[in-house]
């Protein structure tokens, strides 16, 4: 399926509150099925798809800023001319409403909602396919690219690969933190900021609250039973497990958390939300 068509269909499914029509119900898998799922996952490389909204029907300011950033540092990123448009998209208000980050306090405000409602143009930027070892570096480049396009006049930004949106002030704060982490050469901090910027949590899925998009920084997603506490408490668990994997490694974290690693995803391998590094499931 065409790359941007997949992204747009994914956004449409999110707006309607559906999973992909091809999504699989997770369930017990045989050893052979597990090996097959892991083999299929190993062939997948994640990538960023970024959506920017403009205040008028002249896309040149945003596209020129993006092109300059791509030439200067964002190697492998590209503007999608087929789906970018110098006119409003009437699906955007509903799409952003689904995608706003509801974890960080004041992650967006009325001015951000109005900007989405009043937008007059849409710019899509595609990231390169990322090897796991390169995900943090490329996600930091994506954050710098977001900064350049905001500075050029973008009024709203959404990460399509996990369906996450922040208000402009929150994007600027994440950009600031990312810059500090890069200046300090602190890879763990960069990875965490990349998670906060480009992944979404929590989403509800059959007895669990889950993350989506941790593959954009090279980590498995984390599923926590919805009986483990309030949504805010479960988000804290999801983030803590991700930090533990990043700091200590996957196997020690699985052992200490009495968790399992699964590749039996609700997303198909050709969907942007599919995580090739698996799913860490905490026990009930």
DSSP-assigned states of every residue in 66-102: HHHHHHHT-TT-EE-TTT-BSS--TTHHHHHHHHB--
Phi, psi for residue 206 in degrees, rounded to 5? 50, 65
From the centroid of its chain, how far is CA 71? 24
Give the pLDDT confidence score for residue 24 in this predicted structure. Answer: 39
Query: Sheet of 49-54: strands edge to edge?
Result: 78-79, 121-126, 49-54, 156-159, 164-166
pTM for the full predicted model: 0.88
Query: What pairing do the DSSP bridges indicate for beta strands 221-225 and 279-281?
Result: parallel
Query: Sheet of 200-205: strands edge to edge?
Result: 200-205, 208-212, 221-225, 279-281, 260-262
Torsion sign across C-alpha atoms 81, 86, 91, 94: positive
Q: DSSP class of residue 12? A: H
| Coil, strand or helix at 157 | strand
Query: What pairing do the DSSP bridges indicate for beta strands 260-262 and 221-225?
Result: unpaired
Distances (CA, A) of 263 to 122, 213, 235, 269: 34, 15, 21, 10
Give the pLDDT confidence score for residue 32 in this predicted structure. Answer: 52
Cβ atoms 59, 123 nearer than 8 A: yes
Give the pLDDT confidence score for residue 31 in this predicted structure. Answer: 52
Give the pLDDT confidence score for residue 206 in this predicted structure. Answer: 83
Measured N-to-C along each axis, helices 135-151 and 168-183 cross at an angle, to the nearest 10 degrees, of: 130
Give the pLDDT confidence score for residue 34 in this predicted structure. Answer: 56
- Of the chain, the end-to-end C-alpha distance in Å amounts to 37
Q: DSSP class of residue 128? A: P
Distances (CA, A) of 36 to 3, 21, 28: 24, 21, 14
Distances (CA, A) of 160 to 33, 52, 197, 199: 29, 10, 12, 10
Q: What does each of the 284 residues of the chain score in pLDDT, given as a tens digit?
A: 455 444 444 444 343 332 332 333 444 454 555 555 565 666 789 999 999 999 999 999 999 999 999 999 999 999 999 999 999 999 999 999 999 999 999 999 999 999 999 999 999 999 999 999 999 999 999 999 999 999 999 999 999 999 999 999 999 999 999 999 999 999 999 999 999 999 999 999 889 999 999 999 999 999 999 999 999 999 999 999 999 999 999 999 999 999 999 998 889 888 999 999 999 999 85
H-helix segments, 105-222 = 110-118, 135-151, 168-183, 187-198
Structure tokens at 175: 């950009």
Phi, psi for residue 123 in degrees, rounded to 5? -120, 125
SS3 content of the chain, % helix, strand, coil (to 5): 45, 15, 35
Domain boundaries, the chain: 49-194, 202-284
| Coil, strand or helix at 177 | helix
């Amino acid at each position: 399926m065409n790359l941007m068509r997949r992204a747009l269909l994914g956004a449409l499914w999110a707006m309607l509150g559906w999973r992909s029509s091809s999504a699989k119900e997770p369930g017990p898998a045989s050893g052979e099925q597990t090996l097959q799922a892991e083999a299929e996952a190993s062939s997948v490389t994640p990538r960023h798809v970024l959506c920017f909204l403009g205040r008028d029907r002249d896309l040149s300011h945003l596209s020129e800023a993006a092109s300059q950033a791509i030439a200067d540092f964002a190697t492998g990123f590209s503007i999608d001319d087929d789906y970018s448009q110098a006119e409003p998209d009437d699906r955007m208000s509903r799409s952003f409403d689904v995608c706003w980050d509801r974890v960080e306090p004041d992650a967006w405000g009325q001015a951000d909602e109005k900007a989405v409602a009043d937008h007059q143009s849409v710019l899509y930027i595609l990231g390169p396919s990322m090897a796991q070892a390169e995900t943090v570096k490329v996600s930091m480049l994506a954050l710098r690219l977001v900064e350049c396009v905001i500075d050029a006049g973008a009024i709203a930004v959404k990460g399509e690969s996990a369906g996450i949106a922040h208000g402009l002030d929150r994007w600027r704060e994440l950009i600031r933190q990312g810059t500090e982490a890069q200046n300090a050469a602190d890879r763990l901090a960069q990875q965490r900021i990349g998670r906060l910027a480009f992944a979404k949590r929590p989403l509800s899925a059959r007895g669990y609250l889950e993350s989506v998009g941790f593959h954009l920084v090279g980590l498995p997603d984390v599923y926590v039973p919805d009986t483990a506490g309030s949504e805010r408490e479960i988000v804290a668990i999801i983030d803590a497990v991700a930090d533990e994997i990043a700091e200590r490694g996957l196997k020690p974290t699985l052992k200490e958390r009495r968790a399992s690693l699964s590749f039996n995803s609700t997303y198909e391998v050709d969907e942007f939300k599919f995580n090739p590094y698996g799913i860490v499931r905490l026990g009930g």
